[in-house]
Structure 1
């Protein structure tokens, strides 16, 4: 019988286990050298879409894997101590990945794995890497004997990539370079790549942006097609019969001082004991048409990525910072959600429509706060904003009270910002203070998002919701256990958990030294919020119906929310739309959720790299910290001044200690260390390249 791709597939259909090359040759009575070459070639072709090269060289049909082998699909999450976790796609508890498996994996890889039991504990045995997260990366060029390698930076699992000697000699040793990975590490196979860019010897802010962008495969430029489309868009704003002319209204933006694009402007009018609130959002969908080059690129990006001193915009600069940005004293197309809100925080009337606005001022958060609390120089500079801002303060406080009453959880985690000198080099980390002005805008955006979502749900139109599922009961139980370990008396939930249960636990810790740790532990108990065409509510906000409507310049989901809203208010939904859109929106929702995770990871990584650079000059200095993790090998301490973790190895602690896994603590003869304990530590070593901070315990506070 002639052997072809089809006959191999038919043969594999009847096999319950992975089949090896020798077995295939024997089954088809093939023993010639050229037959073996032919079969190898056919198997290589089939690996593209039909079969998987299984462990130790066996082959199995792709669609058969999960059915017959019950394999688990998930994402790799690497830990700096050399092991990792498999974050399962099916939502089941994470699986431990031992260090021997992690040697061939990158953080973020998508894999198939078997569940194994080792020494009584569940582990993941990696069967196949389905998708590699890292395509290009930044590293240091090193020489070992007569061979050259690029040692990758900012990866918790260290990797080195072999590069050709002739090519490597074009660059100086110890230079930071960008390497494209051509072959990934496997057992008995070293990784191989080629250098595509030289970044020099100094790890500056630009290098950090390159490191993070390459690590997460972020787009550094827009396509020529998208840029060309953006340039052709008209800059003239026309007032038409389809849009409300609100150019005379006193509306304004409130943003961070560094903001370059302005998604939203707000206006308010007091009507008796009610407030008429206007939330104007940049009308991005007026410019970005479905299927255009800009639209396709925005879908792939999912959102804007904010790196230190650099933003990788979802939209071309002409749109993000010019045409769509609600700049002061310039007419702009907007999408408006107008709401009449009573003194209990209920929306009693609303209207959603296209408009033309003209922002009367561009305030920073600090300026807005100054006007609210009567700073004379600011009141003099913006006399027409004094009354509106006082009303906004009143309304925001009403909305906050209503939100708290229904059980909304405040995950107000401490944030930090990096200070840069005139050359763009980081020199200090300071707390990023969120105050009343931040809360005003936050509350107004939340009420607008809810109003829009409720309108679409009430009318039964296809839509993209922002959803947040209830946490699993076992995770809540584990959180209660941790709280008990911190000395809090919390009753276990009887059966179901509502947001008020979590809210009350956090309130117990407000004002205590471990407040930020408790907020972090509560956040870790939660599932991640995501986008979905199905409304299942938002647990964290205690909201029955929620969406993202307010940031279309930087979030692709919001662009589609606008498109769907426009269809709704213009009554343009067709029968075909009602049938086909849900499936399309599911794809968009999943893409936006995935890219949001990437953005969060990338932005956090970039901040950590710059913090490490600053801390390199602090070796030998002492800082207060809080224990955020207790493991068999040591204590993780968050340095409170810089909001970054370091490790105190267990063998550096005074005396002998045992690890109490259940209660997350280390117990010694004379003292014990548990989560939430305050300590004084000394910085012993900072390694920028491996992102590791070694600490020494000075005393327990």
Structure 2
């Protein structure tokens, strides 16, 4: 009888490699497995399959078992088609290849294997543990016989199927919110059903509505929240006033933007007998109205922040609170939390007091009115005679505190901001630089001082605090910054330790130079992001040892937490320290994430409206500065509007250009012409992609001559 040919399996190969725990050449493996030449082809296929699955790796041409790691993490996709898995407790996120992103959506929590592919670790998703979203915003598109929903979110790399019957109701390009009925799994397609029709871009401007839907931002409050707010009394009980420090006779006032309706803070100042400055920073006592455990508090925590968009604001608190009960409106009795600070002539904090108060603001000033009074405007001096002297004293104190902060190494990035002016229909009518002047700086400086003082107080009395921390920058990022600065002709010796003063000096050395704003931006980009934590790591950018957010409880939940902690400390209440720290760690993570979301939404809204505005300026020529150089082109920020656009290198027809990555520039092969970071160029607006907030530019003819 003929001997039966031996068949090998993946299981056998894995078992052998796992038991030996060392690499083997292909022929060694074949010999150990006892297979003939015919079976070697099968072995090759098995090894190839195991390598792709991450179960086998190749070391110096030899095969060995790959110890796989199972992890749980959150999916963070990128517009380019790949993503990363964020794993708690791991410093570095793990790469997710494009084919794995076909199974998941942004924010999904997944169980995955870590494999090694081409010498690098990457993820193979096993299953989804928790879906981050159950709806998607997209455009209805017909594709041959199918009906598709194309997501508007650039981070969603899945096309969803709609039923053909449902598709008949909608015009091609109609934007809808759809419920996901079948999630993607890598094998069968994802399916959706239309839940809400937003409209068609040709019929009305949808950008901000789409943004709100895309990020699933709350626009209404739950009924139980509104019911709780309705029950809040507009009258302050006499017994509440009696137990607080009564400062209603004091000359305090608010300084805010012209369109502001919620006034978080009021300020007052006086001289002490020693000639020192006594500064009062009064903050709206939101914690009196928003109690822990209420539906109102839960909703505020969930939102975390007020989201500011160019045409509207999505408030953390309902209007009755944000613009009414809590807002420090002029000539109304209001409950406040006061931080009283005494500074000497050098700006040293001599003493402080933190307490609950009742105040009555004597004026509501805009920043421009405050500036006009400081420099001397007779009409405004007559209108607000009682604030003239305090305002000028405040400017003096600001100069003193600012000088002291500079001596400590505080970094003032002072980047120009663009304000998008919109009409009553939400259409952008202009993009103008937002002017910041001494009145803004006075209030900013006073708020920083109050924030530092309350953090110092909680530290001094031994109570936990939700600190606002800003860690030193990552060394790799700083080295990249120094490399870019070197390309700009600025050589700086790398110090043994990165201190705030080091970065402060870089910014100062570029003051008054054409590259000044670019260097400020690049330096800011090298910094880590500030966040909330109960563990005090200091605030690097402000060169502050202790810092917390206390001054904006109407629009920031972290400030409300700090108010509650301050009240516990003032009453001397005992707390379960470990339990409180655990809560603050959880709150810090949630609120840091919500803050990132609020920033992203605001930036995206501004980019979309800038693109919408620039549509009316197609073909116009602007002067701008090159702010970024990448392989496919360079980014230019237009000086007039602070709008950024891309000049693709293939649009430069006068020469062939080589990308010199280390020097952040393009060099012409024949002409030697250079386009580098920081150069001033003239560009023409070529095209606009409103949906993605992208602007295409081309060099104006004279730039290429």
Distance 1:470 1:346 in 2: 25
Change (3 A) 1:613 1:258: same
Matched, 1:603 2:605: no
The match for 2:178 is: 179
Pair 1:372–1:633, CA change in 2 (3 A): same
Distance 1:424 1:401, change over 3 A: same
Relative to structure 1, the CA distance from residue 100 to residue 516 in structure 2 (aligned partners, 3 Å threshold; closer, same or farther) is farther
> SS state of the match for residue 569, structure 1?
helix
SS in 1 for 2:242: coil
Cα offsets for 1:122-171 (capped at 9, x unmatched): 57445366666554443332323343233333526665432223333333
Q: Deviations over 1:279-328 (max 9, x none)?
A: 11110110111111111111111111112222111112211111111111
Cα–Cα, structure 1 residues 529 and 130, in superposed 2: closer, same or farther, change >3 Å?
A: farther
Give the CA deviation at 1:603. Answer: 0.7
Other-structure match for 1:555: 556
In structure 2, the partner of 1:78 is: 78
Partner of 1:246: 247
How far does residue 412 in structure 1 lie from its aligned partner after superposition? 1.4
Taking structure 1 as the reference length, what is the TM-score of the superposition? 0.84
User: Counterpart in 2 of 1:307?
Assistant: 309
Identify the residue that residue 657 of structure 1 maps to in structure 2. 657
Root mean square deviation of aligned Cα: 2.9
Which of residues 275, 291, 294 is equivalent to 2:277? 275
Q: CA deviation at 1:72?
A: 8.4
Deviates more, 1:170-179 or 1:681-690: 170-179
Correspondence list, 1:399-548, <5 A: 399-494=401-496, 496-548=497-549
Whole-angstrom distance in 2 between the partners of 1:144 and 1:105:
23
Mind listing any 5+ residue stretches in structure 2 that lack a counterpart? 1-14, 19-51, 56-65
Counterparts of 1:264 and 1:555, CA distance in 2:
13
Q: Distance in 2 between matches of 1:587 and 1:184?
A: 29
Counterpart of 2:639 in structure 1 is 640
Q: Quote the residue 1:591 is aligned against.
A: 590
Task: Look up the match of 1:621.
Answer: 620
Partner of 2:63: none
Equivalent residues of 1:632, 1:658 under 8 A apart? no
Deviations 1:625-650 (A, max 9, x none): 22222222222223333333322222
1:149 aligns with 2:148: yes
Paired residue secondary structure (1:451): helix
Asked if 2 retains the 8 angstrom alpha-carbon contact of 1:133 and 1:217, the reply is: no
Distance, in Å, in 2 between the alignment partners of 1:665 and 1:162 is 44
1:203–1:378 distance in 2 versus 1, CA, 3 Å: farther
Q: Which moved more, 1:148-157 or 1:664-673?
A: 148-157
Q: In 2, distance between residues paired with 1:107 and 1:488?
A: 41
SS at match of 1:221: coil
Written as runs of structure 1 = structure 2, the 5 A alignment for 1:102-181 is 114=114, 118=118, 124-125=122-123, 127=125, 135-153=134-152, 155=154, 160-181=159-180
Q: Which residue of 1 aligns with 2:677?
A: 675
Decide whether the 8 Å contact of 2:418 with 2:432 is kept in 1. Answer: yes
**Partner SS, residue 418 of structure 1:** strand
Mapped contact 2:608–2:694 kept (Cα < 8 A): no
User: Are the equivalent residues in 2 in contact too, given 1:477–1:493 (CA < 8 A)?
Assistant: no
The CA deviation at 1:337 is 0.5
Q: 1:613 to 1:253 in 2, by over 3 A?
A: same
Flag the 1:560–1:667 CA change in 2: closer, same or farther, 3 A: same
Between the aligned partners of 1:591 and 1:677, the Cα distance in structure 2 is 41
Q: Which moved more, 1:523-532 or 1:624-633?
A: 624-633
Cα displacement (A) at 1:527: 1.0
User: Residue 276 of structure 1: SS of its match in structure 2?
Assistant: strand
Asked if the contact 1:97/1:123 (under 8 Å) is kept, the reply is no
Pair 1:688-2:680 in alignment: no
Alpha-carbon distance change, 57 to 481 in structure 1, aligned in 2, over 3 angstroms: closer
Contact 1:154–1:691 (CA under 8 A) maintained in structure 2: no
Deviation of 1:543 after TM superposition, in Å, equals 0.1
In 1: Cα distance, 2:87 partner to 2:663 partner: 25
Change (3 A) 1:157 1:491: farther
CA spacing shift, 1:232–1:679, aligned 2, 3 Å:
same
SS at match of 1:268: strand
1:259-270 counterparts in 2 under 5 A?
259-270=260-271
2 CA distance for matches of 1:130 and 1:675?
45
In structure 1, the residue matched to 2:9 is none
Query: How many correspondences in the alignment?
Result: 637
**Which secondary structure state, in structure 2, belongs to the residue aligned with residue 405 of structure 1?**
helix
2:25 corresponding residue in structure 1 = none
CA distance in 2, matches of 1:204, 1:426: 17
Structure 2: distance between partners of 1:108 and 1:281: 36
How far apart are the structure 2 equivalents of 1:652 and 1:188? 40
After TM superposition, the structure 1 stretch with the greater mean CA deviation from structure 2, 92-101 or 456-465, is 92-101
Q: 2:77, 2:101 within 8 Å by CA — same for their partners in 1? A: no
Moved more, 446-455 or 414-423: 414-423
CA distance in 2 between counterparts of 1:604 and 1:489 reads 33
Query: Structure 1 residues 662, 270: CA separation in 2 closer, same or farther (over 3 Å shift)?
Result: same
Which of 259, 284, 287 is matched with 2:286 structurally? 284
Work out which of the two has the higher radius of gyration on C-alpha atoms and give 1 or 2.
2
Judging changes above 3 Å, is the alpha-carbon distance between structure 1 residues 642 and 155 closer, same or farther for their aligned structure 2 residues? farther
- The gaps in structure 1 that reach 5 residues or longer are 1-13, 18-54, 59-65
Closer/same/farther in 2, CA of residues 218 and 113 from structure 1, 3 Å limit? farther
Q: How far does residue 512 in structure 1 lie from its aligned partner after superposition? A: 2.1
Give the distance between the partners of 2:564 and 2:588, measured in 1 at CA. 14
- In the TM superposition, what are the counterparts of 1:184-203 in structure 2 within 5 Å? 184-185=183-184, 187-202=186-201
CA distance in 2, matches of 1:286, 1:255: 23
CA contact (8 A) 1:205 1:308 kept: no
In structure 2, how many angstroms separate the alpha carbons of the residues matched to 1:326 and 1:278?
14
